[in-house]
Structure formats: structure tokens, C-alpha cells
Amino acid sequence: MRAISPHCSSVSAFRWLSSHAAVRVDNHRQCLTGPTNHTSHLHTEKTEPLISLIKSTSSKPHLLQIHAHLIRKSLFQDPIFFSPFLFGIALPPFHDLGYASQVFSKFRKPDVFQYNIMIRAYGMSDSPGNGFMLYQEMLRSGVSPNSLTSSFVTNCCIKIGSLFGGLQIHARILRDGHQSDGRLLTTLMDFYSSNEKYTEACKVFDEMSHRDTIAWNVLISVYMRNRRTRDALGLFDMMQSSYDCQSDDVTCLMLLQACANLNALAFGERVHRYCEEHGFDKAMNICNALITMYSRCGCLEKAFEVFKGMTEKDVVSWTAMISGLASNGYGRDAIEAFREMQRVGVSPDDQTFTGVLSACSHSGLLDEGRMFFNSMSKEFGISPNIHHYGCVVDLMGRAGMVDEAYNLINSMKVKPDATIWRTLLGACRIHHQAELGEQVIERLIELKAQEAGDYVLLLNIYSSLGDWGKVVNVRKMMKDRGIQTNPACSTIEFRGKIHEFVANDFSHPRKTEIYETLDEINQQLRIAGYVAETVAELHNVGTEDKQIALSYHSEKLAIAFAVLSTPPGTSIRVAKDLRICVDCHNFAKILSAVYSREVIIRDRNRFHHFREGRCSCNDYW
């Protein structure tokens, strides 16, 4: 009989082998000989080699030949041989679910182990729903699940987003008494978190009798998904005080991500030291995360220090450095890093181009941006995605080419999303294009994606033009549609703790001192020539009232807190969740000169490094 061609499809191979009674395995003849009577089984000295052969084979055609031998020798229904064969064909590296499901269906009485293999395999595939259905079939057949079954089928529910299915499994876990299995409960936490049931996820963690590092890591992940990033940092100290676990490299990766999101440089430096102490700092993924963290905290010197110290750099490393340079206003340096990346033989990917196009956008490099955009597909075979188009629209919009940006959106090969329309709306605000701004709002309404911030941009356009009638109309429209604005939030790290501020905030325990300090700062800045930019105030009130309203924006309160709490000359780092307004930008510029302080503000779009009365963005943001 001929050997199976490696190009033969799995299903046809199964049918072919099942219809024949013999097979030739030239290289393993001794292992594949033995009595054909299934009830007598092979002798131990022949059973073990065959099982070992099934487990060790690295060739799929060879594994199919073994299957044919099992059929010929009437060993197919023996779980001693069937289970390792099913394991080999159903799971990676072969992961042939078509073939595996057929042989599984012909096995007379599968046990929990064989069901587990199939459910696990479905959970790793593009059809995890079949895993849940197989679990239900298993219960109907009277086979009791074990803790591994529950873990595998819970992963299936995570993939298909089945809250009801997961709740059924949780109930079964409690009924069968498997709630002491820490790994299973960790999977349940992940299930609840993926379905945005964060309270339930935390409750599972609280009820665990033993919490290992994986459980703690999942809890960090739960907090971050729930936007409780500050609380996630606090878990690090709790883990350190726990006697039965220790933070690992996964913990550090998540903590570095949290620090990047919160602009928590001091905490990030602490995690960096922990990585060095435990030997994680040489791992490429940790180094890449450190580059991102330092860049997003506005500390490019340390980001470059990590980058320079890497013995090997992949495309993620280069992209992180390029993106960091871009967001901090070093557009030409980002372009030079991109060219150096090519010189050393690392090919850019789509995210690299997002970084370099962003660099052009933030620095107003129109010609360079167009050149890189055109080279993507022509030289590198990378089709532009929505992010690349967004960078070019932003670049054109900032350069005043608003109509050209609008035409580019309409000619895109991908469907415009809400983000790209908002990018154009921002350009309309900068260049006072009210009519086009109205059209963009209509597009957002069509996408059912309008947010309060979109209307605020439109309000900015009308107020800058002094069209207070339109301002009133937009406010009425927002009220009729139930659209409410959320106050901007600014955060600042001090002594390992994140302090949050909103406009006119009186919740901070040191509020009296903060407001007194801010009043003193305003007085000093007015002496130096600071005049509030009242165009940033959207209410039709007198100039004095507008100045008062602008005086207590969230970033000004954060800066006042830093001036109050830190020694003279200390750098001030603030993160804001929205775009910085013109007035606060002017405020920070003059303060950096009057108080001889470097002020670094990260808003939603980019970094602003204020030094000696100037900003790194050159007033281009």
C-alpha cells in the first residue's frame, strides 16, 4: 500500500485510511507489529514503544499512517492508543479539527480526557462555539466534567462572548466542588472581566483560598480593563507583601503599561529597578515596554538609554522609539530613526508607518509625510489603513489644507470611521471652518458615533467666530439628544500616588493651599505679561467672567499642586485626557520661564515640553 502524500487533505486521508485494512510504516516496523486481538492488548514491551511513537512523531502523514495501523490491528477503540493519537491530531502543531472530529465521532465511549482534548482544541480554533456545544453533549451523555473541562470550556465562552454559557459553567463548578482549583478560578476571573463583569471577577479573586502570580496578574488585567489603572498599580505592593507569590515578567509588562497610561514616571522607574533586580530587563518585550513607558511619560532620554542598551532590536523596538520621538515633538529625529532602522536591515510594518507619519503630522512636515505615505505601498507593499489616512488628514488639516483633507477622506480605499472625521473636525476648529464642521458632525451622526467632544469642537468654532446664536443652538441640540460633557481630568504623580484634578475641583484634601498657590501664580504671570486667551471659554459672558472661568482649568490646578508640593526647579509632569486649550498652553509657557521650571504636559494628542517660555510643539498642535 502506498504511503499517504503529505499534500493529501486531512478529511480525504481519513476516509482513505478508514476504508483499508493495512498500512506500511517502513521506518518503525517493529513497533507496529503485534497481535490483532484488541482484548489481549500488546505486551508492555510493544505497547510503550507504540504510544511513544504516537507522541513523538513530527510528521502528520506519519501520524495518519499510525492511525491506519490502529484500525488494522483493531486497536482504534482502545483508549490507551486512541487518546494520545487524538491529542496529537487535534492540538498544535497539527491542530486538524476536521480529522479529529471525525475520529472522535467514531470512538464508542469517549471519557472526560478525550472530551477535554476536543474542547481544548476547539477553544484554540476559529470555532470555539463548537467546544461549548461539545461540552453540552458531554453532559447529556453522562460524562462528568473535571476542573480541566471547566477551564477549557470557559475559554470557549470567553472567545464567543457567551455570558450565559459562562454562568452555567460557574454553577456547575460550584455544584461539582471544583472551586478550590486556583487555575480554574483564574480562568473564571478572565471570563467575567472579558464580559465587563468586574465586580464578579474581583469576587472570584476574593474567594480564592490560594492566589498565585497568575491570579494576581489577571486581577491587574481586570483593573485595567475597568479603567481602574491607579488601583492596578496598588496591587504591586500587595503582591510584594504576599508570601505565596512574586511578581513576574507578565506583572511588570502590565504595570509598565499602566504607568504609561497614567504618566506615572516614578512608579515606572520603580518597576524598571524591579526588572533589573530579577533579570527581566534584558528581555526584548520588557525593553520595548520600558521604551514606551518612558516615552509616554515624556522622558525620552531614558527611553533612548533603554533602546541603545538593547543587544537586539526588533521592529517593535524601533517602532516604539520612532513613536516616542514623534509624540514628543522630535519629528525629524523620528524620520532619522526610521532611516537608520532600514540601514540596519529591519523592515518596517504598518505600525512603524503610523509612527513616522505621526511624526510628520506633529511637526508639520507636509512634503515628508506625503513621501512616506506614497512609499508605503510602492516600496514596502503595505496598504494604508485607517490610522495612516488619519495621520495624513491631520497633517493636511493642520497645514490649512482642509478641503484637500476632506477630499482625501472621500477617496479613501477603506471606510472612514468616527476618528478620522473627528480629526478633520479638529482642523475645522483650528481654521474656523464652520460650514465644513457642520458637515462633519452630520457624518458622525450618520455613523451614530457622535460624542460630547465633537459638539465641543463645533462650539469652539462658533465661539471663536463670535456666533453666539449658533452656540445656543448647538447647546440645545446637545440637551435634546441627551449628550452631556464630561469634565476634563488632569493627573499628576507625587510620592508614588496619582492625584486627579478637574476644573474648579474642591475635592483635594489640600484644596485651600492649591487655590491660594494658583492665585499667586496667576498674579506673577500677569506681571510677566500673561493675558488669558478668552477664546477658549465657550460661554457668552463678559471678558472678566471668562478670565475667572479659565483660571481653574484642571491642568492649572495640577501645576499649582506641583509648585506647592515640590522644590524649586523640579520638573512638573501632567497628563490630561483631552486636548490642552490655548489659554492653558500659554499659561504653561510663561510659567516655565517665570518659575524656571520644565513643565511637561501630555494631552490626548501629544506631548508639550515647556522650557524657558517656549514649547516643543512650536505652538503647532
For the chain, helix, strand, coil in percent to 5 are 65, 5, 30
Per-residue cell: 305: 538609554
**If you search the block for the grid coordinates 464642521, which residue do you land on?**
437
List the strands of the sheet with 614-615, edge to edge. 497-502, 489-494, 572-576, 599-602, 607-611, 614-615
Residue 275, pLDDT score: 96
CA distance 291 to 616: 20
- Cβ-contact 23, 1 below 8 angstroms: yes
Q: At 445, is the secondary structure helix, strand, or coil? A: helix
Per-residue cell: 162: 457567551
Residue 483 reports pLDDT greater than 60:
yes
**Helix 44-56, helix 60-72: angle, nearest 10:** 150
CA distance 95 to 44: 29
Residue 546, pLDDT score: 52
In this structure, the chain runs to a length of: 621
| Residue predicted with more confidence, 37 or 529 | 529
pLDDT above 90: percentage of residues in the chain: 61
CA distance 233 to 268: 10
- E strands along 46-103, which residues? none
DSSP letter assigned to residue 504: T
Reported as a single tens digit per residue, the pLDDT across 341-383 is 999 999 999 999 999 999 999 888 999 999 999 999 999 999 9
Residue 242, pLDDT score: 75
Reported as a single tens digit per residue, the pLDDT across 295-316 is 999 999 999 999 999 999 999 9
The torsion angles phi and psi of 573, rounded to 5 degrees, stand at -120, 120
CA distance 557 to 550: 11
- Cβ-contact 237, 260 below 8 angstroms: no
Residue 484 reports pLDDT greater than 80:
no
Average pLDDT across the chain, whole number: 86
Q: What is the mean pLDDT of residues 199-228?
A: 90
* Residue 20 confidence class, pLDDT cut points 50, 70, 90: very low
Q: Could you tell me which of 141, 151, 157 has the C-alpha nearest to residue 179?
A: 151
Q: What is the mean pLDDT of residues 565-578?
A: 93
Q: How many helices (H) and strands (E) does the chain have?
A: 31, 6
Residue 152 reports pLDDT greater than 50:
yes
DSSP letter assigned to residue 456: H
Reported as a single tens digit per residue, the pLDDT across 69-83 is 888 888 889 989 999
Reported as a single tens digit per residue, the pLDDT across 511-567 is 999 999 999 999 999 999 998 876 555 544 445 555 566 788 999 999 999 999 999
pLDDT above 70: percentage of residues in the chain: 89
Residue 510 reports pLDDT greater than 50:
yes
Q: What is the mean pLDDT of residues 584-601?
A: 95
- Cβ-contact 62, 93 below 8 angstroms: no
Residue 11, pLDDT score: 43
The torsion angles phi and psi of 487, rounded to 5 degrees, stand at -65, 145
- β pairing state of 599-602 and 614-615: unpaired
Residue 614, pLDDT score: 93
Reported as a single tens digit per residue, the pLDDT across 45-60 is 567 888 888 988 889 9
CA distance 538 to 555: 18
CB within 8 A of 167, min separation 6: which ones? Answer: none
The torsion angles phi and psi of 56, rounded to 5 degrees, stand at -100, -10
Q: What is the mean pLDDT of residues 26-48?
A: 44
Domains of the chain: 391-485 (1.25.40), 492-615 (no CATH)
Within 10 Å of residue 177's Cβ, how many Cβ atoms?
9
CA distance 593 to 525: 10
Q: Could you tell me which of 363, 351, 365, 366 has the C-alpha nearest to residue 321?
A: 351
Omega before residue 61 within 30° of 0, cis: no
Reported as a single tens digit per residue, the pLDDT across 418-458 is 889 989 988 888 888 888 988 888 888 888 766 777 778 78
CA distance 35 to 333: 74
Task: Please name every residue paired with 343 in a beta bridge, in sequence order, or none if there are none.
Answer: none
Query: What is the pTM (predicted TM-score) of this model?
Result: 0.75
Residue 170 reports pLDDT greater than 50:
yes
Omega before residue 509 within 30° of 0, cis: no
Residue 10, pLDDT score: 42
Amino acid, single-letter form, for residue 338: F
Dihedral, CA atoms, 241, 242, 246, 248, nearest 10 degrees?
-80
